[in-house]
Chains A and B, each alone.
Chain A
Amino acid sequence: MVLKTTTCRFSGLRIYPGRGIIYIKTDGQQWLFINRKAKSLFMQRKRSAKIAWTTVYRKQHKKDLEAQVARKKRRTANRVQARAIVGVSLEVINKRRSEKPEQRKASREAALREVKERAKKTRADKAATKSSDVKKGGPKAAKVMPRSAPKGGKR
């Protein structure tokens, strides 16, 4: 069962059925109060904005904002959360995500350097095998020699 509630015009609190005072002015205005305290303060012409426990005051002084903000933040975080995709686990994705651009660049350069070095190494190895072939000498190597020899000489 849903209870139909009204709000207190002074304090802004909820009035459940069976509670509250309706005050009817001569001009036809209806004022709903939750209890005698609210009514009394209204009759004394106190302003609800200056009384600390009313919702008007709490809104003005930003009292209940923290809870609302926290709730909002959590909701947005849930929406953005990453999922694991084919071949890439969640951990890897999160790790990549948390990296800073500088870090990413550095790792990228390191990887590139490694690749380059590997390439150089293989080339060097090839060269070494060739040179060894040359050293061994033979009818075949003699043909290659004129090409490689001047290079070596220059160096």
Chain B
Amino acid sequence: MIGSGAVLHVSDNSGARTVQCIQPSGRAWGVGDVITVAVQKAIKGKVTAGQVCKAVITETKKEFQRQDGSVIKFDKNACVLVNNKGQPIGSRVLGFATHELRARQLMKVLSLASRVL
């Protein structure tokens, strides 16, 4: 449940710490969706504050349901920065990645992630 204006943590080593969702909210975005974000806070890295780029949502506070009926919920909203082709900007994914990314052809993000659910 990520809408326009939502602030997300960045769980990779691209240099961004927090980003703000600036995707026009036709609907609420969830895990696996690629959204447009503006980098709010960044340390020294590949991106700087104020830059606009794409990001894939990896964790949401709002629980989401799988085909088998199980429900997963995280305790923060987090994303991984990607380029227009869906390739991650950073070289590491620090937080969780879920199998929902597999359906969106974001295999590179999945393979970099250390913890896959």
**Which 4 A-B pairs rank lowest in CB-CB distance, beginning with the nearest?**
A18-B69, A21-B71, A22-B72, A23-B73
Q: How far is the CA of A23 from the CA of B115 in the complex (A)?
A: 15
The answer to whether B71 touches A24 (Cβ under 8 A) is no
B115 near A25: Cβ-Cβ < 8 Å:
no
In the complex, B103 has a CB within 8 A of chain A: no
Question: Are B74's CB and A20's CB within 8 A?
Answer: no
B76 at the interface (CB under 8 A from A): yes
User: Are A24 and B69 in contact (CB-based, < 8 A)?
Assistant: no
When C-beta atoms are compared, the residue in chain B nearest to A20 turns out to be B70
The answer to the question of A19 belonging to the interface, with a C-beta cut-off of 8 Å to chain B, is yes
Contact in complex: A21, B69 (CB < 8 Å): no
B69's partner among A17, A26, A39 (CB-CB below 8 A) is A17
* Interface residue tally for chain B (C-beta within 8 Å): 14
B115 touches A22 (CB 8 A): no
**Is B117 positioned at the interface, with any CB of A under 8 Å from its CB?**
yes
B96: chain A residues at CB < 8 Å are: 24
Q: Mark B72-83, 1 if CB is under 8 A from A, else 0.
A: 111110000000
Given A22-B71, A23-B73, 5 additional A-B pairs, CB 8 A:
A18-B68, A19-B70, A21-B71, A22-B70, A26-B76
Q: Does A153 contact B (CB under 8 A)?
A: no
- Determine the distance from Cα of A134 to Cα of B104 in the docked complex, in whole angstroms: 130
Cα separation A19 to B71 with both chains bound (whole Å): 8
Q: Are A17 and B68 in contact (CB under 8 A)?
A: yes
Q: Which residues of B contact A24 (CB under 8 A)?
A: 59, 72-75, 96, 117
Q: Is the CB of B69 within 8 A of A23?
A: no
Which of B63, B75, B96 has most chain A Cβ within 10 Å? B75
Q: Is A28 close to B, CB under 8 A?
A: yes
Shortest beta-carbon distance, A17 to chain B, in Å? Answer: 7
When distances are taken between beta carbons in the complex, the residues of chain B under 8 Å from A23 are: 73-75
Tell me how far the C-beta of B30 lies from the nearest C-beta in chain A, rounded to whole angstroms.
15
With a CB–CB cut-off of 8 A, which chain B residues contact A28?
Answer: 115
With the chains together, A23 CA to B63 CA distance in Å? 8
B75 A19 Cβ-Cβ under 8 A: no
